[in-house]
Amino acid sequence: MYDAACPSDPPILQRATGALSVSFKRRGDATVLDGLRQEGCLKARFPRVEPTEWATTVTLNSSGGIAAGDRLTTEIGVGQGASACVAAQAAERFYRALPGSAPSTVRTRLAVADGAAAEWLPQETILFDRSALDRRLEVELAPDAWFLGVESLVFGRAAMGERVERASLRDLIRVRRAGTLLLHDAIRLDGDVDALLQHRGVAGGARALATVVHVAPDAERRLDAVRDAIAHVPPSPLAGEGRGEGGAPVGSPSPHPSPARGEGAPACGSAVSPPLAPVSWSGLARPSTTSPHAAPHVADGRHKAGHDTWGKAPVRTLPVEAAASAWNGLLLARVLAPDGASLRRAVTTILAALRDTRPLPRVWLC
């Protein structure tokens, strides 16, 4: 609010701040909580697990989404010999920024000690039209530490008919092992994001992307398993064909427009990451409407005989592109998908190949 006597003064909008610090240590055969500090809108919850299982932390943001000017900081420490998984309660939403607003800033730092293992498994980051985000993930690893992490970006909810036309995005993943830089992976998108994503050198028309990072002494030996998992991800019908999963016509305004509280450059590849060897996705060439994948039969009958319930247009499948490479104890996989649902299907398949028989955190299954 502002003083009615000075109506020309700009309003001072409330912004959310949050700080979360969680650390773990090993006690006998179990990983236990060593330290916890939470402030503002960032909180942590600890699902009950068996003593011999990995400790699990679920982070949550009580502010109900992130707006321009919000500031969130998370620090995770995993002590010697401990094993901990950090997941997020739900996908995080970044809402429309008012003109001239500072971007929302998100900083995350993980420190993993000798013989320790850590997983950073947040759910998708959903960007709304005209959002502004500056995010960094910093990972510091001891020489024999084990790490698995994923960061996903979804440009608008396809099922709601949303499309991100303009935005400002700075997204950085930096991984060091024993002080030596292993990965510096930066994405920078400004302005007409809708046009930038169409470029083959950026996203080739994809509306969702993910980066999976695995660092371990045996990371290279996991490469074949990851590539095999990638090759067997089934295609998904594009959520925006004819009518979306939420029933909104493609290209129409969303029934839930992006809110704002109170009111380019192409993607840069990693300068030090290994080159990505392309992986063939079997059966993922764009099919004809007579393809067995072109008209999937689903329980609610939305798609039948190659058409949606309204009979508007054939239901097509679009390819999910992915690649994986490994070098020097680092395995890196990237995924480009037409929508968030297809992206999640691919990401969970890759994670399963790297997590052996351990199930994903329950919040991923809700």
Do 289 and 306 touch, CB atoms closer than 8 A? yes
For residues 121 and 179, membership in a common domain is answered with yes
pLDDT digit string (tens) for 212-260? 999 999 999 999 999 999 998 876 655 444 333 333 333 333 333 444 4
In sequence order, the 6+-apart residues with CB closer than 8 A to the CB of 284 are 235, 317, 319, 320
Q: Is the confidence at residue 115, as pLDDT, over 50?
A: yes
Q: What share of the chain is helix, strand, coil (3-state, %, to 5)?
A: 10, 40, 50
The pLDDT, as a whole number, for residue 287 is 30
Pull the structure tokens for residue 266: 């192409």
Q: How far apart are CA 73 and CA 338, in angstroms?
A: 30
For residues 97 and 109, membership in a common domain is answered with yes
Q: Has residue 7 been placed in a domain?
A: no
Structural domain boundaries, residue 303: 287-317
For residues 205 and 308, membership in a common domain is answered with no
The pLDDT, as a whole number, for residue 254 is 39
Q: How far apart are CA 114 and CA 81, in angstroms?
A: 7
The pLDDT, as a whole number, for residue 356 is 87
The pLDDT, as a whole number, for residue 60 is 95
The pLDDT, as a whole number, for residue 9 is 55
Per-residue confidence at 10, pLDDT binned at 50, 70, 90?
low
The pLDDT, as a whole number, for residue 271 is 34
User: CA torsion, points 336, 85, 139, 278, in degrees to nearest 10?
Assistant: -30
The pLDDT, as a whole number, for residue 48 is 87
Pull the structure tokens for residue 117: 């293992």
Q: Is the confidence at residue 291, as pLDDT, over 80?
A: no
State the burial class of residue 51 (Cβ atoms within 10 Å of its Cβ: 0-12, 13-18, 19+).
exposed
For residues 158 and 305, membership in a common domain is answered with no
Q: What is the mean pLDDT of residues 284-296?
A: 31
For residues 189 and 202, membership in a common domain is answered with yes
Q: Has residue 12 been placed in a domain?
A: no
Identify which has the larger pLDDT, 193 or 305.
193
Per-residue confidence at 188, pLDDT binned at 50, 70, 90?
very high
DSSP string, 202-270: TTTT-SEEEEEEEE-TTGGGGHHHHHHHHHTPPP-B-TTSSB-TTSPBTTSPPSSPPP-TT---PPPPP
pLDDT digit string (tens) for 193-208? 999 999 988 988 899 9
Q: Has residue 303 been placed in a domain?
A: yes
DSSP 8-state code for residue 166: S
The pLDDT, as a whole number, for residue 11 is 61
For residues 55 and 126, membership in a common domain is answered with yes
Q: What is the pTM of this model?
A: 0.77
Least confident of 49-58, 189-198, 261-270: 261-270
In sequence order, the 6+-apart residues with CB closer than 8 A to the CB of 128 are 93, 94, 95, 96, 156, 162, 164, 258
For residues 196 and 310, membership in a common domain is answered with no
Q: First CA to last CA across the chain, in angstroms? A: 38
The pLDDT, as a whole number, for residue 7 is 55
Using alpha carbons, select from 70, 86, 88 the residue that is nearest to residue 78: 86
Q: What is the mean pLDDT of residues 273-293?
A: 34
For residues 230 and 276, membership in a common domain is answered with yes
Per-residue confidence at 284, pLDDT binned at 50, 70, 90?
very low
Q: How far apart are CA 193 and CA 197, in angstroms?
A: 6
Q: Has residue 11 been placed in a domain?
A: no
For residues 171 and 298, membership in a common domain is answered with no
Q: Has residue 3 been placed in a domain?
A: no
Identify which has the larger pLDDT, 31 or 287.
31
pLDDT digit string (tens) for 132-177? 999 999 999 999 999 999 999 999 998 888 889 999 999 999 999 9
What is the sign of the dihedral through the CA atoms of 326, 327, 332 and 335?
negative
The pLDDT, as a whole number, for residue 253 is 37
For residues 189 and 44, membership in a common domain is answered with yes
Q: Has residue 1 been placed in a domain?
A: no
For residues 144 and 222, membership in a common domain is answered with yes
Q: Has residue 9 been placed in a domain?
A: no
Q: Has residue 223 been placed in a domain?
A: yes
The pLDDT, as a whole number, for residue 100 is 85
Using alpha carbons, select from 298, 365, 339, 9 the residue that is nearest to residue 153: 339
In this prediction, what percent of the chain has a pLDDT beyond 90?
Answer: 63
Instruction: Tally the domains of the chain.
Output: 2
For residues 35 and 165, membership in a common domain is answered with yes
Q: How far apart are CA 174 and CA 270, in angstroms?
A: 9
Q: Is the confidence at residue 274, as pLDDT, over 60?
A: no
pLDDT digit string (tens) for 343-357? 999 999 999 999 988
Cα radius of gyration rounded to whole Å, the chain:
21
